[in-house]
Amino acid sequence: MKKVSLFITAFLALFIGFVGISKANEVNIFSARHYDSDIQLYQKFTEKTGIKVNVVSGKDKALQKRITEEGKDCVADLYITADAGRLGAFQAKGMFQRGASSKAIKAVVPKNFRTAYWTGIAKRARIIYYSPDRVSDSDLRGMSYEDLADPKWKGKVVIRKSNNVYNQSLVASLISNNGKKATAEWAKGVVANMARDSKGNDRAQILAVAAGEADLAVANTYYLALMLSGKKGPEQQAAAKKVKPFFPNQDNRGTHMNISGGGILKHAPNKANAIKLLEFLLTKEAQQHIVNNTFEYPMIDGVRPHKLVVQMGLDFKQDLKTKVSSYGRKQADALEVMLAAKWK
C-alpha cells in the first residue's frame, strides 16, 4: 500500500510538472500601447516560437496600480508603454528586474535608449510644427526648444498640458542639459508665449496651427503622419498639409527623442520568454511591422520608416547625448517647474 501511495505521489508530481511546463510556454504582457498592429505582431511571435502571448491592455496608471497591488501574485511578465519617463519612474519604484539588456538587445539598441531593466522598441521625435504662410525658413534657422521662450513668439505657441508625459519627458531632457533653474525660467517664457491655454492631444496642437490659432506647435512626429495618412478623416488630412515639420536643436545636441519600450517585471513568471519577445520586437521583420503601422522611427539600423515619415526628412540630427533614462529621474522636477510657471 505504501508503494502504491508513493507511486501516485510521484505520478502527480510528474503530471503537475508537465502542467507547469505547458503553462510556462507563454508570456503575459500588460500594455499601455493602443495599437491593433501590436497584437498582429505578437501573433507572428507565437507562430515563430510556439510561445503563446496573453495581453492585458489599459491605461498606464491602471496597469501600474494593478501590478503594484498584486505584487508576487501578478502574472504579468512584461510592461510595455510609450514613454521612457513612465518606464524610468516605474523602475524607480523597484517594479522591474534585470534582463532587458541581453546580448542580442545590446547588439542592436543604442545604450542611451535602454537600461538593464527596460529597452526601447521604437523611437519618437517630439518636434515643432509651423505655418509656412506665417513663418519663414529664416525665422526658424538654428531654432532650438530653448527658443520657444523667445518673446518674438509671444501669443504664437501651442503645446499640450503639463500633465502630459511627453511634455514632462521633454522638459526633463531640458533640465538634464540646462539645469533646473534655467529650465524654470524657460517654462515661464513658454507660458507667456502661448496662444491659448494648453488643451487637447498632439493632433489638436497641429490643427490649431492649420486653423491660424497659432504659428508654432509642439507634437510628436507620428501624429502628423497619422493625419496625412487619412486615417483620421479628410479634414485632418487637409489640415496636416497646411503645416510643416521642423527639427529643433540641429546646431547642438539634436532633436529630442523618446521611446516606446518594455521592461521585465520584478515577479515575472516567464522571464526567459519575456526576453525572447523583446528580442523578437527588435528584429528587422518586427521593426518594419512597427514603423509601417504606428509611424514611429525604428529602434535598430537597417529599417526604413514609413514613407509619410520619410517625407518629413531623415537627415536630421537626433539627440543621442541625453539618456532617455534621465526622463524618469527628472520627471518630478519637470512637473514642478511647469506648474510653478502656471503651465496648465
Q: Which amino acid is at 210?
A: A
In this chain, the answer to whether the domains covering 2-123+258-308 and 125-256+318-340 adopt an identical fold is yes
Q: Determine the longest span between alpha carbons in the chain, in angstroms.
A: 93
Return per-residue pLDDT of the chain as tens, 344 residues. 433 333 333 333 333 333 333 357 999 999 999 899 999 999 999 999 999 999 999 999 999 999 999 999 999 999 999 999 999 999 999 999 998 889 999 999 999 999 999 999 999 999 999 999 999 999 999 999 999 999 999 999 999 999 999 999 999 999 999 999 999 999 999 999 999 999 999 999 999 999 999 999 999 999 999 999 999 999 999 999 999 999 999 999 999 999 999 999 999 999 999 999 999 999 999 999 999 999 999 999 999 999 999 999 989 999 999 999 999 999 999 999 999 999 99
Distance CA 34, CA 58 (A): 8
Q: Helices H, strands E: what count in the chain?
A: 16, 9
Grid-cell match 521593426, residue found: 287
CB 338 within 8 A of CB 95: no
Beta-bridge mates of residue 258: 124
Query: Which architecture, in CATH terms, is 2-123+258-308?
Result: 3-Layer(aba) Sandwich (3.40)
Q: Which amino acid is at 300?
A: I
Indicate the CATH number for domain 125-256+318-340: 3.40.190.10
**Which pTM does this prediction carry?**
0.89
> What are the extents of the domains in the chain?
2-123+258-308, 125-256+318-340
Q: DSSP label at 159? A: -
